Amino acid sequence: MKSLMQMRKIFPKTGLVILIFVACLAQTETSAQVTIAPSKINLDPDSKQKPDKGILKKIVKPIKFRANRDATENDRIFKFLNNRINNKQLKIDTATVSQIMIEFNALVAQDTATKASINSIIKTHDLDKIANQSVINDLVKQMGASFDSLRTQMSAVLQENANENSQAKRDLISKNNDILKDVREVQYSAASNLAGTNSYVKKDTIYFFKRSLNPKIKVIGWQSPEMNDEFKNYNYNYLSSINLYGYDLSSKGENKKTNDIQKFQEKGGIIELAQSKGCDLHLTVYNQSSSEIKKFLGDNLAQKRLLIELDTLISKSNLKGINIYFGDVSDPNAFVQFIETLHDDLKMLNNAIQLNITIPAITDDDVSLKKISGYDFSELNHLADYYFVMTDHITDSESGIAQSSSPLLSSDKYGKNSIESTIGFYANGKIPVSKLIMTVSYTGTLWQVDNFEGNPPNSLIEGNPTYKEIVNDYLNKTVNKSSVFQGFDPNQMASYINVMGPNPADKEQIWYEDFRSLYQKYDWALGNGLGGVCIKGIGEDDGYSELWDAIGATLIRIDTIHVDKKHVAGKPALTFSHYINLFIEDFQWAMESRLNYKDPKTENSICECDYSPSYLKTYRNSPTLWTDYQEYDMDNVNTIENSLLCHYLWVRWEIYSIFSMWCCIICFALLLVTWGFSSYLARYKLSNDTILNIMLVSRGIFIFTLFFAFGFYLIFAPKTTILEGANHGAKYFLIIGIIFLTGVIGTWIVAGKLYKNRYARKNMP
C-alpha cells in the first residue's frame, strides 16, 4: 500500500509526459514518413512480450489515472506532444496517431476487454500484491477513464499535424505566386510567335519590345496514344516539344501499330495543335524485345525500310526529332552503326532534326548494369543530341518496401538507387551532364502494406493510379469510410498517402508526384546542369493546374527582346479644340468591345488590346500621348493600327476616369457645403432670397455634374468592377445614358421640391 501511495504522489501530473519522452528517446532516426510504426504498438493484453515492452505499458506503468482530468492537464499534455513533435523529439506521424486512436477506441468500446487489459497490467506489475482490492478497483476505474482523455489528446495532435502538412504545401505555392503571376501575364512562348509587341518611351525615343516565355532547359511531354482529348488542355507555352510514343518497331523495320501514328496525325489532333502553338514534335521508335532488336540490328534491309518510313513521317508531319528506345541492346557495335546511319540520314534530310536515345536508370546492380553495357557512349555521344534517362521507374515490385517509383535522393531505408545516383553514374565520365534528360511521371504507385513502415516482404504493388485519380478518389473525398492521411518524404522528394480502412489491418500506401515533389526535382535538375526534363503520363492531371504550375515556377523564364525603336519630335502645342476632338474619338472607341490591334512586328496580323496597370506609369509623359490617335471608323470598329495607339488609348481612358472621379468627389463635397451653409443662413435669416436662390441652383448643378461625372467614370475606368470599364462594349451605353438621365431628372425633382418647400415656408404665419 505504501509503495502504491508513493507512486501516486510522484506521478500525478508528470507521469504521461515522462514516459512519452522516454519512448521518444528509444526511437531510432527514420524518414519523415513514419517513426513510430503502428505495427510496433502493443496493446494486446495477451501478448507474450516482456512486461517492460509496449508503448501502452510504458505509459500506464508509472501513472496515476484520475477519473476527472481537468482542462489544464489536457492542455498541458497537448502542448507537450506538439512541442516534442515540432522539436523533432517525438517522431510520430498522422497514421501512427490514428492507429493509436483506433486501438483505444476498440478497448473502450469493449468494456470486458478493457478491464481484462487493465487487470493484465496490474498483475504484470504486481500491483495486486501491494494494494488491497478497493484500491485496485479504484485504479481500474480511473485507468479506464484515462483512455478517453488520452484519445482526446491524440485527436488534437492528429488535427495539428494535418494542419501543419497542409500549411507547408500552401507556403511553397505562395512562395511562387509572384513568379507565376508574371509568367501568366506574359502567357505566350517565344516559339509560338503569338506574343504581342509592347513599347515604352524614354526621352524622345519609343522602344518596341516583346516579352515571351522560354524554357530554361528542355521540357518534353511524353505523349501516349492511349490518351484521348487531354492534349487540348496542355499548356504548350511551357513545353519545348512533344515526344510521340510512337513507332512500334518490328524486326523487319515496319510499324506494328500504324493506327497510333494515324491518331496523332488526325485533323485537329495533337500534331496540328502543338505545331500551331510553336511546340516541336518528336517521334519515339521503340521495341522492348531483346530478340527482335538483335534481329533488326543485324538486318540492313530492315534498317533501310525504317529510314524510308521515318523520312516519310518527318516530311508529312514536320517532325523535329527522333528518339530511339530499345529495351535491351546486346550488341554495342551494331547499335552504334545503326545510330550512325540514322544520324547521317536525318542530317541529310534536315540538319536541325534531333536524334535522342533513351537509356535505363540504375535499378539493380546486375540487371541494369548489363543493359547499360550495350551502349558505347564514347561512340554515341557525338551522334546523339540528348539521352532520355528513365528515372521515372526506378523502383519495381520486387523491392518489397513501399516507396516512390522515382526517389530523388538515396537513403539507408529505401536503398541507394535514385535519380541522384543514376545521373551521377552517367555523368561520371560517360555522358556530358548537359545531354542528360531526367524523366518523371504523373502516374503514382499504390502499395498494399501490413504497416506504414513498409517493411519487406509485406509490401506489394497493387496498381498505378494517375494523378487525376489520386486527387479525385483519395484527396477530394473519403474512400469507403477509410481514413486518408497525406505526407511528404524529403529524402525521396515524393508525396505519399496512407489509407487506413475501417479494419485497422486494411492498409494502403500511395506514392506520387505533386507540386512540391516536382518543384524540388525540377529545381534539382536545373541546379545540376541537366539538359532537360521529360514528363511521362502528361495529361493524366487533366482538370488540375498544380503540376503545370510546378513547371512554370521553376523551368520557365521571361525573355524581353527589343525589336524596334522610333524617334519622335518634342511635345507640340495643342489647341482646346484638338483635345475636344480627341475626347470624342476616345469616347467612341470606349463604346466598342474586345479591341484588337495590328502588329507589324509579328507574322500575326491581329493581337488583343489588353489593359495593364503599368501603362499609366510608362506612357503618361510620352510626348505623343495626346497627338497620336486613330479616328473612329464605323466600318472597322474593333481594330487599332498598332500596339502603341492601343496603349495610348488605355492611358487616356484612365486619365479621363481619374478626372471624372475627382469631379464626383468635389461635386459631392460642394453639394454638402452649400446645403449646410444655405440651411444655416435660412435658419437664422442671415441672407436674402437672391443668395439662397443662387445656392439652390448651384446644388442642382452639382447634383447633375455628380451623376454626369460618375457616368463618365464608369465608361472609362479600366479597373472598375461595376461596368468593367472601357473596352467592354456598346451594350453598356444604355446603362450610362440612364445614369445621365437620372442625374437630370434627379436635379429637376430636387430643385423643384426645394423651391416649393421654400416658398411654402415663406407663406406660413
pLDDT in tens, 422-474: 999 999 999 999 999 999 999 998 888 877 765 555 666 777 899 999 998 88
Percentage of residues of the chain with pLDDT beyond 70: 65
- Tens of pLDDT, residues 156-194: 444 445 445 556 666 776 777 777 888 888 888 988 888
The listed range with the strongest mean pLDDT (50-54, 244-248, 569-573, 723-727) is 244-248
Helix (H) or strand (E) holding 302: helix 300-317
Q: Minimum mean pLDDT among 319-323, 534-538, 557-561, 742-746: which range?
A: 742-746
Pairing of strands 241-248, 280-287: parallel
Which has more pLDDT, 607 or 151?
A: 607
Find where cell 518489397 sits.
400
pLDDT score at 58: 41
| pLDDT score for 133 | 55
Strand partners for 559:
212
Q: Could you give the C-alpha distances from 73 to 41, 66, 527, 540, in angstroms and in order? A: 24, 11, 50, 49
pLDDT at residue 257, as a whole number:
93
Question: At CB < 8 A and 24+ separation, what contacts does 604-611 make?
Answer: 604/193, 604/194, 606/639, 607/196, 607/197, 607/643, 608/196, 609/640, 609/646, 609/649, 609/650, 609/727, 611/650, 611/718, 611/725, 611/727
Q: Which of 461, 430, 427, 458 is nearest to 444 (CA)?
A: 461
For residue 653, what pLDDT band results from cuts at 50, 70 and 90?
A: confident
From CA 595, how far away is CA 591, in angstroms rounded? Answer: 10
Residues 6 or more apart whose CB falls under 8 angstroms from that of 491 comprise 31, 32, 407, 408, 409, 410, 411, 414
CB neighbours of residue 297 within 10 Å = 21
- Look at residue 400 and tell me whether its pLDDT is greater than 80: no
CATH topology of domain 200-441+513-557: TIM Barrel (3.20.20)
| Residue extent(s) of CATH 3.20.20.80 domains in the chain | 200-441+513-557
Highest mean pLDDT among 116-130, 315-329, 603-617: 315-329
CB atoms within 10 A of CB 396: 13
Closest CA to 91 of 16, 164, 37: 37
- SS3 percent helix, strand, coil of the chain, rounded to 5, is 50, 15, 35
Q: What is the mean pLDDT of the chain?
A: 76
CA dihedral over 676, 677, 681, 687, signed as positive or negative: negative
CA distances from 565 to 601, 627, 641 (A): 12, 18, 17
Between 763 and 491, whose confidence is greater?
Answer: 491
Cell triple for 350: 534536315
* Between 477 and 414, residue with greater pLDDT: 414
Whole-angstrom Cα Rg for the chain: 38
pLDDT above 90 for 612: no
In the prediction, which pLDDT does 82 show? 62
If one compares 32 and 195, the residue with the highest pLDDT of the two is 195
Identify any residues that bridge with 465 across adjacent strands, giving them in sequence order: none
Beta-sheet strands, E only, within 268-335: 280-287, 321-326
Q: What is the pLDDT of residues 661-707, one digit of tens each?
A: 899 899 889 888 888 888 887 777 776 777 777 777 888 788 888 88
Residue 515 scores a pLDDT above 60: yes
By percentage, how much of the chain surpasses pLDDT 90? 33
